[in-house]
Amino acid sequence: MSTGPRLESVKKNWGADIKSLKIVHIDMDSFFATIEQARHPETNGKCVIAGGTNQGGTLKGVVSSANYLAREFGIKAGMPMAEAKRRCPHAICFPVDMEHYQKISEKAFDIFYNFTPFIEPYSIDEVFLDLSGCQMLFGTIWEAVEKIRNQIYKELGVTCSAGIAENKLVAKLASTQAKPNGQMMVCADAAEEFVQSLPLKAIWGIGPATRKKLENYGIETVKQLADLSLEKLQKIFKTKMGEKIFQAAHGLDSSKLAISEPSKSIGNEETFYTETYNKDEVLSHLLKMTEKTVKRLGEEGFKTRRITVNIKYSDFSRDAASITLKKQVSDSQSIYKVAKSLFEKLYNGKKVRLIGVSLSKLENVKQAGEQKQFSIFEYGYERNERLQNAINLLNKKYNKHLVHYM
């Protein structure tokens, strides 16, 4: 759920150098809430909120997503569900169904891969695409983006917004300004002017702490920021950070797309009822998400070699880390051990509001004829996988998550 500021004055196409356009940022509009509207057509034209979990007929927790009608009542992500209902008592609320949302996300990514293999997934509802070579197949980059957005809406019932630019920074800023359900292009010859027309808090990568530090120097707008020299910014911040801020103020971004192979991924993430500093509490949720994800992995007949952990903090900043294993695995113990290690490396001490784990580089497993005789002296991955298979069969038999690995 995008919280960036949007200005009607900048909601237009910028520049004339259309040959410079190659990077697209696509952001699904109010993703969870829109999905609920799509599968509950009777909610069209009404305020819809997705958030929390159902406890005794009452939704507990926080708002994960609200449609634009609900946002007019001040509803935003992270707000307690009770507060959201007070502000908008006629809103129709749905508990978060992350498994379903993940499936819709996977279908959206299948559509993206029909247009280009050069994709960087950014979150469950955001993606960067390199469409620089698509003209012969899909027309201009503008026309290609229109086709992508139309196909997603037609097949999934979800609207999305897109920014088209020369680099990732400007593309993401443009997609925010294009919301809801629109697209904008910012050519290289107008990128600097576009960025400097935005408020400081709109700039991707400049969070509250950085803004506060800049405000101590009298910097409250991107235009003022752009007037500072590189040397000055490197004195205020560390050398690398100062250079990054300097480039952002001038619409520059040299970062490349972290290309993801077009393979299926399986994952789950959870937004906490209450944001927390407690690592043990976060790890407990990470274990739960790992077990849910491994259950799906077994049901779909896959093993994995790539494990990713995602963290969202109370200020809505995100961190993610992945590791590719030499050997494919499919058991909770092995996967959680890696996920926990990734979390320990990522965690920066801030309040956590969401934790997630996803598995990719999936490989099909032949279920028949590959089981060896079990031995109590067998150790390592194979023993773990046999135990996991037995757990999966028991849980499937009784249609409940009765047995846990750990």
C-alpha 70/C-alpha 76 separation (Å) is 9
Where are any strands of DSSP class E within 42-159?
48-55, 58-66, 92-94, 119-123, 126-130
Q: Which of 72, 99, 106, 126 is catalytic?
A: 126
d(Cα 299, Cα 19) in Å, to the nearest integer? Answer: 46
> Phi and psi at residue 216, in whole multiples of 5°?
-65, -20
CA distance 242 to 355: 30
Which amino acid appears at position 240 of this protein? K
User: C-alpha distances in angstroms, 181 versus 4, 68, 145, 154, 212?
Assistant: 15, 11, 12, 13, 32
Q: Helix axis angle, 381-398 relative to 332-346, nearest 10°? A: 110
What's the CA gap between 267 and 276, in Å, rounded?
A: 22
Structural contact between residues 121 and 26, judged by C-beta atoms closer than 8 angstroms:
no
CA pair distance 248, 237, nearest whole angstrom: 14
Q: Is 105 exposed, middle or buried (0-12, 13-18, 19+ CB in 10 A)?
A: buried
Determine whether 126 is an active site residue.
yes
Strand 48-55 relative to strand 92-94, pairing: parallel
Instruction: Please check whether residue 126 is in contact with residue 26, taking contact to mean a CB–CB distance below 8 angstroms.
Output: yes
Longest dimension (CA), the chain: 72
Omega within 30 of 0 (cis) for the link into 89:
no
Instruction: Evaluate whether 176 touches 195 at the Cβ level (below 8 Å).
Output: no
Residue positions annotated with a catalytic role: 126
